[in-house]
Amino acid sequence: MIKLFMGKKGTGKTRKMIDMANKSAGEAKGNIVFVGEGRRYIMELKHEVRFIDVKEFDLSELNVFYGFLGGIVATNYDIEQIYIDGLMEIFGRNMSGIESFISNINKLSKKFGINFIMSMDGDPESVPTFLKEFVA
């Protein structure tokens, strides 16, 4: 499953995802991973949630990021949920390749039973057709 939170900057997308990750940490049977840019939220996440700062890795394109996520999944088959905060902000709002990325993430989700919860700045009413089914 893919769930995409969209809204203008400052509308509480990150807060909602942090709350969801923390709640899941107490309920989930598997592991929870939170991927974000910078370490500003690390103190707000429960210690059971694995935080990954993408700035520590030289991820410049969505296809590289997909490989990175695949590597995370390959090293831990107990992952139940992966939260990705600010998907397009990580890549400088470059929408090139987003359709392929979402398609690949959807396949990964189905194959391994992992829920991907992501946030993006933008108007949920004006998203491309291929994203509409995932907008929460």
Domain extents in the chain: 2-132
> Which CATH class, in words, describes the domain spanning 2-132?
alpha beta
Q: What is the pLDDT of residue 94?
A: 64
Please check whether residue 107 is in contact with residue 1, taking contact to mean a CB–CB distance below 8 angstroms. Answer: no
pTM of the complete model: 0.92
Burial of 36 (0-12, 13-18, 19+ CB in 10 A): buried
Predicted pLDDT of residue 42:
82
pLDDT in tens, the chain (136 residues): 999 999 888 888 999 999 999 999 989 889 999 999 887 888 899 999 999 999 899 887 888 999 999 999 999 989 999 999 998 887 766 667 889 999 999 999 999 999 999 999 888 888 888 888 999 8
